[in-house]
A and B are shown apart, each in its own frame.
Chain A
């Protein structure tokens, strides 16, 4: 509804007295009123005047009020519709509302009733349009943010890192140990930034709900093994043993292997990150009552009790004196992925003792 214009109302009713009295009631108000004596004329007028609000009499000769309602939905679902009914047909008014009508006006009605319902319906139309505009704006912001993050932040940082690589490559025989360590630090910090940007992009640009369309029966060990492979170097560097225990045979899971392995990369990566050198991370998979239980246990620094409720929230990191870097998005994404699979993630932890994450997934045999 254009702000410079008055709200446009159309009344479709075969009783001339209704049309006349409505016109009379709204006279002098800021509404622009048009009328139609039957459905066909009404629909033509809707296309012509593009009203904000349409009153439709349910009982009319020619095409029925219900049909008119349906057609209005097709023409423009944001148009607010109110049905006019006799007392005897309140039941059908409810049916009409189920089909998308916003409200109903029982005949006979007083001028006040009519004014009130008109005001409420016009307000409704304003809210509907505002919601659509806000949604569109939010979507645009999301898209633009993703492209700003990727182009304006990631590309320059990638170019910086590329040139650091070159310096290291070409100067390695000229640099002393101290200089090499400094360059290595630069590389690590840039790499962390790049990873952080990637996680942001991931959160912003991927619609996890769309995953469900691509589910197929998979062996849960497939994404676990591929996660373990990509974490191997990291674990070796920190001298941490990744121990697996698969209680086979395991039933298949209906899911998406790529996103599930992302979950395990996140959880196993965290386990390694917060573990002390020379310790173990144990990954165990078993079937219990039609569910697959995947537990990842470390004997690392643990999570404080007050932090546990927040760790899946995204952009949150525990404050309990950790010196390691991280982005705190991984677990939030992981939970959304597991949710999409109809499963759950839980965590049990004790400060200084270690943490166990348990992922539960329904097996696809049920």
Chain B
């Protein structure tokens, strides 16, 4: 079954770019263009991964979503790929340094624009990492 992804990003042109890549890679992709719709989708449906723009609108509304995810026991287990156009404001601008925002248990940060193969690789990695964590937990718990 195709993995379900949600993109929350307020830039339609950018979204059309990454959605096309993810569609092509066989994912089922849903899009929300603002944080409010995004939160609603997260609360009513289940996704295998969230692609989140951290700097939507005037402030960092994406961070607000990430904080809400962290507080929610179920959503906390969903992997998040944070996409930002402003890495230098979140961390020190530096090439080649991996940045793990650690908003939720499984997350990673990529900078806009993102290479198609890198995007697909990150999405797949995060999903399998989150699944491994989940099954690992189930085996351990009685």
Contacts and interface: CB of A to CB of B under 8 A. Distances in A.
Interface of A: 150, 154-156, 158-163, 165-166, 168-170, 194, 198, 201-202, 205-206, 226, 229-230, 258-259, 261-262, 265
B56 to A, nearest CB: 11
Interface string B14-31: 101110110010000000
Contact of B93 (A162, A168, A170, A201): A201
Contacts of A161: 113
Most B CB contacts (10 A, CB to CB) among A165, A168, A206, A259 go to: A165
Interface of B: 11, 13-14, 16-18, 20-21, 24, 85-86, 88-89, 92-97, 112-117
Contact of A162 (B24, B88, B112): B112
Nearest to A150: B86
Contact of A206 (B86, B88, B112, B117): B88
A163 B93 contact: no
A260 to B, nearest CB: 11
Contacts of B116: 165-166, 168-169
Contact of B13 (A159, A165, A206, A265): A159
A165 B94 contact: no
B16 A198 contact: no
Given A226-B97, A261-B94, A158 B20 contact: no
Given A158-B112, A159-B13, A261-B94, A170 B88 contact: no
A166 B120 CA distance: 12
A150 B89 CA distance: 10
Given A230-B96, A258-B92, 18 more contacts: A154-B85, A154-B86, A155-B112, A156-B13, A159-B11, A159-B17, A162-B18, A163-B13, A165-B115, A166-B20, A166-B21, A169-B117, A170-B20, A170-B24, A202-B93, A226-B97, A229-B96, A259-B92
Nearest to B117: A169
B12 to A, nearest CB: 8
A244 B86 CA distance: 33
